[in-house]
Structure 1
């Protein structure tokens, strides 16, 4: 009598190369999962709109023109709106890249189930990066539609504001994924808030860089959100120069580094 050794339906997947088509399956999974959580998307998209209405439009009536890119004076709403667009992209990507991935990794055990399919850890990293980018892009587009009614898209270069916001979301999605793979408990998210809140408040979101002491200026100038705000602000106000390309390179490298770290960490955590 012939005996047959039992074989698993799908062989365990070791860390491999990135497979774009395979990673899209994880994006599809997230879309289906979030169909019943559409309110989370709505509230996240409305937050920067409320800041624009209350501070940019409301408080802006009491604030004289501020110094914009290149030293040119601009109205307060024109100064704040690009920063809030960059912040919307950051929030949309960063929160899902940290909170969402941590839950799916540590509690939902989603990725353990995913590895029973042909997907590899790099596919998981690329799929989650794509999903986080989509969420950040949704926030950015929603904010831009509202902001356009206040005349803040006057420059022809403003058509590149959405692609710039996508680059910001890409950079923060990579950073967030890398951070999430090192988290041990929900208490570790205090570190995320500690990183994001100072960037939001001090990265020239509401005030020009010149109002800060030089020591604080040096700190602000190396933060990723500042790079993103300067790109979007330069495009929306028509102050375009070679420095914007360097800032874009900064965000692109941050995204690639985060993706590489997350892929390696997923491999260690899920295939050990």
Structure 2
């Protein structure tokens, strides 16, 4: 009589991104007491002040600007939208991630569960995208009420905020791996503040001389502003797709570097 063969089941195959959805749900649950519109209000308060003070207030004194075919407030609003989305995404993958790692020991605890390291990285970036989307929705609602963007283009701009949040969320989670103490965030602000001021938030890139234009066009916030400004104003030219490609590559590289760096920190 033939001898029966006993098959021993091996460990289940778990996707590399396992647990990303659970980390995302955990972050949503932790912040559920604030509510989406409360989070949006916190994120857009400062940009709205800039819009009122500069876009509306100073805009009355500026008049027509060469290369700008719309009112000054309508030109500035998408730049402030991009800034609000960037700040929301970076907050979740930088300051918040730093606290989770340094003080809460959160990530080491999570890795003792079936959640994989890739799941942690993907889940945190997904949460930053959701936060950016909430901030973008709140800001878009305000500028639409102000009449600075029409509803069809507002919906297209809302889709653009997802890509902007993804790009900065991935980059922020990667950069956080080099942050050792709170004072290191001053270096981050040293980069973000000049980028906010010079990346065409308040005026077109054509005001700069040629070599400076090239430098400005390399800034990630410049491409975020170009994407959302093109969407908000309905200017869907070839430059839009350059910004889409730039931000997509930035987000993917951020994920790859973040996965590599967090593996060195958490698994050794």
TM-score with structure 2 setting the length: 0.88
Match of 1:184 in 2: 180
Query: Are residues 1:269 and 2:228 paired?
Result: no
Query: Are residues 1:53 and 2:49 paired?
Result: no
Match of 2:205 in 1: 209
Among candidates 70, 76, 79, match of residue 75 of structure 2:
79
Among candidates 207, 212, 223, match of residue 227 of structure 1:
223
Match of 1:140 in 2: 136
Among candidates 94, 104, 110, match of residue 108 of structure 1:
104
**Cα deviations by residue, 1:106-163 (Å, 9 ceiling, x for unpaired):** 1110001101110111100000001111111111110000000122214844431011
Query: Are residues 1:163 and 2:159 paired?
Result: yes
Q: How many Å apart are 1:233 and its aligned residue?
A: 1.1
Tell me: CA distance 1:181–1:41, structure 2 relative to 1, closer, same or farther (3 Å). Answer: farther
Among candidates 23, 28, 31, match of residue 26 of structure 1:
23
Query: Are residues 1:95 and 2:95 paired?
Result: no
Q: C-alpha separation between the residues in 2 aligned to 1:29 and 1:155?
A: 33
User: What is the total number of aligned residue pairs between the two structures?
Assistant: 254
Which stretch has the larger CA shift, 36-45 or 213-222?
Answer: 36-45
SS state at 1:118 partner: coil
Match of 1:239 in 2: 235
- Whether contact under 8 Å (1:155, 1:238) holds in the other structure is no
Query: Are residues 1:65 and 2:64 paired?
Result: yes
**Cα deviations by residue, 1:168-187 (Å, 9 ceiling, x for unpaired):** 11100011000001211112
Q: C-alpha separation between the residues in 1 aligned to 2:162 and 2:191?
A: 20
Among candidates 113, 117, 121, match of residue 117 of structure 1:
113
- Whether contact under 8 Å (2:41, 2:138) holds in the other structure is no
TM-score with structure 1 setting the length: 0.87
Tell me: CA distance 1:26–1:155, structure 2 relative to 1, closer, same or farther (3 Å). Answer: closer
